[in-house]
A and B are shown apart, each in its own frame.
Chain A
Amino acid sequence: MSTAHNIDPAVSQPQMYGLLAEFHDVQTLLDAAVALRKAGYKKWDCYTPFPVHGMDKAMGLRPSILPWIALSGALGGVFTILALAPLCNAFLYPMIFSGKPYWGMPGHIPMAFALGILGGTVFVVHGLFVLARLPQFYHPLFTAERFRRVTDDGMFIAVEATDPSYSPSATSQLLTKLGAAAVEEIRD
Chain B
Amino acid sequence: MASVTTTQVPGMTGDFDNTLDDGVSQAPLVLGEATFHEVTRKICRVAEAPRAPMAWYVAFAISTSLVGVLGVMIAYAIFTGVGVWGNNSPVFWGFPIINFVFWVGLAHAGTFISAILLLFRQKWRTGINRFAEATTVFAVVCAGLFPGIHVGRPWFAYWMAPVPNVMGAWPNFYSPLLWDAIAVFTYTNVSLLFWYVGMIPDLATFRDRSKTRLRHTVYGILAMGWRGSAKHWQLYERTILILAGLATALVLGVSSTVSTDFAVSQLPGWHETIFPPYFTVGAIFSGFALVLALAIPARELFGLKDLITKRHLDNLAKITLVMGSIVTYIYMMEFFIAYYSGNGYEQFAYLTRIMGPYWRMGWLILFCNCVVPQIFWFKFARTTWWLALPAALLCLVGMWSERFVIIVTVLNRDFLPSAWHNYAPTWVDWLTFAGSIGLFFTLFLLFCRFLPMIAMSEVKSILPQAAGHVHDDSPADAAGH
Contact = CB atoms under 8 A, between A and B. Distances in A.
A60 B476 contact: yes
B287 interface: no
A65 to B, nearest CB: 10
Nearest to A69: B242
Contacts of A64: 234-235, 238
Most A CB contacts (10 A, CB to CB) among B173, B178, B253, B456 go to B173
B478 interface: yes
Nearest to B36: A153
Interface string B165-179: 000111111111011
A108 B257 CA distance: 12
Interface in A27-54: 27, 29-31, 33-34, 36-38, 41-54
Contact of A67 (B190, B207, B238, B474): B238
Contacts of B221: 135, 137
Contacts of A45: 229-231, 480
B246 interface: yes
Contact of A136 (B1, B37, B205, B225): B225
Interface in B18-71: 35-37, 40
B189 A37 contact: no
A53 B235 contact: no
A12 B367 CA distance: 76
Given A34-B471, A117-B246, A52 B466 contact: yes
Interface residues of B, number: 80
Interface string B453-468: 0001110110001111
Contact of A61 (B220, B234, B471, B472): B234
A128 B227 contact: no
Nearest to A74: B246
Interface string A83-105: 01100110011010110100010
Most A CB contacts (10 A, CB to CB) among B228, B456, B466 go to B228
Contacts of B239: 66, 124-125, 127-128
A74 B247 CA distance: 12
A47 B228 contact: yes
A182 interface: no
B140 to A, nearest CB: 14
A138 B225 contact: yes
Contacts of B237: 51
B224 A52 contact: no
A62 B478 contact: yes
A168 interface: no
A10 interface: no
Most B CB contacts (10 A, CB to CB) among A29, A113, A141 go to A113
A177 interface: no
B472 A108 contact: no
Nearest to B457: A50
A50 B235 contact: no
A117 B173 contact: no
A38 B470 CA distance: 13
B436 interface: no
B355 interface: no
A53 B189 contact: no
A19 to B, nearest CB: 15
A45 B183 CA distance: 40
B235 A131 contact: yes
Contacts, number: 258
Contacts of A134: 224-226, 232
A5 interface: no
B37 A61 contact: no
A44 B479 contact: yes
Most A CB contacts (10 A, CB to CB) among B185, B201, B207, B220 go to B201
Contact of A128 (B236, B257, B465): B236
B271 interface: no
Contact of B209 (A70, A95, A138, A152): A152
A122 B174 contact: no
A132 interface: yes
A85 B172 CA distance: 8
B470 A88 contact: no
A89 B172 CA distance: 7
Contacts of A181: none
Contact of A31 (B226, B238, B260, B471): B471
A140 B151 CA distance: 54
Contacts of A60: 476-480
B227 A47 contact: yes
A114 interface: yes
Contact of A125 (B179, B197, B207, B226): B197
A52 B173 contact: no
Given A47-B230, A56-B230, A64-B234, A128 B458 contact: no
A53 B1 contact: yes
B297 interface: no
Interface in B59-107: none
A108 B172 CA distance: 10
B243 A121 contact: yes
Nearest to A108: B173
Contacts of A56: 230, 234
B128 interface: no
A132 B457 contact: no
Contact of A29 (B168, B185, B229, B468): B468
Given A117-B249, A121-B246, A125-B193, A151 B466 contact: no
Given A30-B469, A62-B478, 7 more contacts: A25-B468, A61-B234, A61-B479, A98-B174, A113-B253, A134-B224, A137-B225
Interface of B: 1, 35-37, 40, 162, 168-176, 178-179, 182-183, 185-186, 189-190, 193-194, 197, 201, 204-205, 207-209, 220-221, 224-239, 242-243, 246-247, 249-250, 253-254, 257, 260, 456-458, 460-461, 465-472, 474, 476-481
